[in-house]
Structure 1
Amino acid sequence: MKKILLLSFVACIAIAPAVKAQDNTLTKKEIKQGWKLLFDGTDLKGWHSWHKDAAAANWTVKDGQIQYDREHDRDGDDLLTDGVYENYELQLQWRITKGGNSGIIFDVQEDPKYSATYQTGAEMQVLDNIDADDNKKQNHLAGCLYDMIGDATVSKPVPVGEWNQVKLIQNKGQLTFWLNGIKTVDVKIGSPEWDAAIASSKFKDKYFVDFMKIQKGHIAVQKHPGSSGWKNIKIREIKD
């Protein structure tokens, strides 16, 4: 009888659903591994709008997520981390409204001589692949290195309104993107593949003369058509 009860107990543990981690928190293991939260679910501390000291009105916190409010589109620009980062792993979740478009822009140089985050920083695309206007080019789809690398074979966002999972690693010039567990980009900055991608993109133009010249900078989430939501934003700097 004791053996039967023990087996039943073990079976119950095996089939019990895993406890979902609370949003915008770190486990003890993650803290030990060096992860840091970039958003705690309550406010925009640690973030500011482009060329501003604080977050503008188009960015709010609601229901434990950063939200881009398109109703206040003219009241602000892209949202940036206060900190600058060089070699790191970034993880976050995003969702978008129908027809929506946004992006994760990194290595942003916030100098007065630049007029936009994407003038210096590359972008991991955030998009409703089905209904967004910017869905005509393969390397403009969700999870792609915008206007450079990626296509529909690797771009597999979840349905609009659901949460997508991002992992982005930049380490000594190597860029690797994952969207929902699928690797979408793996390229070395300055490699022949990189140079060819630049040459066939808009980033070859003079306006982008300093594009990705420095592999260190702010991380931004983009103001763009459609509302977006962001949560569970965390970063682990790579020291070795």
Structure 2
Amino acid sequence: MKPILLLLAFTSSALALEPGFESLFDGKTLDGWKHDGNWSVVNGEIARVKKGGSLTYEKAKVPDDFELRFDWKVAKGCNSGVYYRPGQYEYQLLDNANSPYGENPRQSAGSLFFCMAPTKDVVRPFEQWNEARVVCKGSVIQHWLNGEKVVDFDYADPRWRDAVKLVGYRGTDLTKRGGKLWLQDHGADVWFKNLRWRAIPADEPVVSENLTPMPVSEAALKKEQLRIQELLNPKPKPAKKSAWQHQELKRFKAEEAHQGVAVDDTFFYAITNAAIGKYRKDNGERIGGWQEAKDGRIKHLNAGLVLDGKLYCAHSNYPEMPMKSSVEIWDPQTMQHLESIDLTDAEGSLTWVDRRDGLWYACFAQYAKTGDPAKTRIVMFDAQWKKRGELKFPSEVVTKFGKNSSSGGSFGPDGLLFITGHDAQELYVLDLPAKGEVLSWKSATPISAHGQAFAWNRTEAGILYSIDRKTSEVIVSRITKS
């Protein structure tokens, strides 16, 4: 082999020489990574090239015990991060010298952001490559930067109680596992290469030295305390003036009106945890229904949708853990249960589904009782129920959720997405994002129903069916533009 070919062969196989490591980036494509078109491969490097969102590795979740290695560099003043476990588990990337974040070591390069400062500042100047390494096993967390171990602590050790509490203000539970690896777009250019990881075997010891972090100055501490107060007492943004009006038309008694309602040309279907009642739309007469057997599998039905001659209902095992979800399907003519589609892998409690432009939109809720309401999201599936993307709720709507989540949702007039919370007498109006993954907040409209699931009457524009669970009634309303 000629010398230059020998050198190329050695370079291309360098990562393979590290025992047990798997490459996460082939140097040519972003295969296996999900993004919104704002990331690209440039000169064999992953580059953030324009405004957008995070870059997420979709092929596998981060192992519970793992070692991650990567090289990174940032533009002047850039603040970015690598998130490697659920919540705000972030290896901080920063131009310490030119970013205001650099004032606080707990926010500086190599830190476990908003938790544990590095032992020293060893970051290289902006636009120069840095070498990073993360090792996590059990309750031990270790960060390296440019060959030096700069973070090493056992979060189960009582001496780090304050640090664990601090990151907890961001909603981080250091005991959580099973998240996806993602690279942050924080508004400035950042580059990555040589990303690889390995699972750490159970018999491989990782012992913490519990290194002493850099001290935080009084000025930085004051700013940190202000940030904590903002996290504890967020200021909700005022709802925009609604472009929609609600007019209640009539009510029908329905003993099953506890979770939601579905509607077709002739009937409405009142839904409770393990039963569905079928009622005439003209006079509210109950003509049939379905009831789960005692100790049956179906525990917690939510919203319903009649589509193409089938009744689809969202189902979960709430409040049991771990969370499990499915779509349950009935023949609305006979009220015979036809099929169950398991969506447990999507993570969360399924509360509603709707279909638009060939895609299913499914809301996987989280509640304060079992998780974090801010993590409620909409997952998009194709006709075969294969995941095709995700959408997040804007902060204004998350604030409306409080300790609960979205109970109902469906596309309605003007192609907008209308959703409800758990108890508030409001209908929230959203739109799909032009880019990115966060839904666009439009307005909140007062309604008669106290949250819960609802359904649009597809045969008469603007007619909404909702429920009042306290009175066991189905409410028929008209929603029109102001």
Q: TM-score, normalised by structure 1?
A: 0.74
- Secondary structure at the aligned position of 2:101 is classed as coil
Q: Does 1:65 find its partner at 2:45?
A: yes
Moved over 6 A (4+): none
Q: Which residues of 2 match residues 7-26 of structure 1 at below 5 A?
A: 22=11, 25-26=13-14
Q: CA RMSD in A?
A: 2.0
The answer to whether the 8 Å contact 2:139/2:154 transfers is yes
Q: Which moved more, 1:216-225 or 1:37-46?
A: 216-225
The equivalent of 1:14 in structure 2 is none
1:234 corresponds to: 196
2:158 to 177, 181, 192: 192
Larger radius of gyration: 2
Question: 1:173, 1:215 within 8 Å by CA — same for their partners in 2?
Answer: no
SS at match of 2:161: helix
Give the partner amino acid of 2:17: K
Structure 1 position 155, deviation (Å): 2.3
* Deviation readout 1:68-125 (Å, 9 max, x if unpaired): 12xx31xx311121111211111100000111110111113xxxxxxxxxxx131111
Aligned to 1:105: 83
More helix by share: 1
**Residue in structure 2 matched with residue 177 of structure 1 by the alignment:** 143
| Preserved CA contact (<8 Å) 2:139 2:175 | no
Q: Indicate how the Cα distance of structure 1 residues 146 and 133 shifts in structure 2: closer, same or farther if over 3 A, else same.
A: same
TM superposition shift of 1:150? 1.4
Structure-2 separation of matches of 1:65 and 1:193: 40
Partner of 1:34: 20
Is the strand fraction higher in 1 or 2?
2
- Cα displacement (A) at 1:47: 1.3
Partner of 1:218: 180
Unaligned segments of structure 1, at least 5 residues: 1-18, 49-54, 109-119
Report 1 or 2 for greater relative contact order, CA contacts < 8 Å, sequence distance ≥ 6. 1
| Shift, 1:133, TM fit | 2.5
Give 1:26 deviation, angstroms: 4.1
Structure 1 match to 2:168 = 204
Secondary structure, in 3 states, of the residue corresponding to 1:22? helix
Distance change (3 Å), C-alpha of 1:193 and 1:223: farther
The SS at the match of 2:181 is strand
- The residue matched to 1:223 in structure 2 has which SS? coil
Amino acid at match of 1:97: A
Distance 1:191 1:96 in 2: 34
Distance 1:43 1:174, change over 3 A: same
Q: How many aligned positions are there?
A: 193
Query: How many percent of aligned residue pairs carry the same amino acid?
Result: 27
Preserved CA contact (<8 Å) 1:144 1:150 = yes
Q: What amino acid is the match of 2:68?
A: L
Contact 1:68 1:227 in 2 (8 A): yes
What secondary structure is seen at the aligned counterpart in 2 of 1:93?
A: strand
By how many angstroms is 1:147 displaced? Answer: 1.2
Q: Give 1:87's aligned residue.
A: 65
State the alpha-carbon separation in 1 of the partners of residues 177 and 156 from structure 2.
Answer: 11
CA contact (8 A) 2:15 2:23 kept: no
Q: CA deviation at 1:181?
A: 1.0
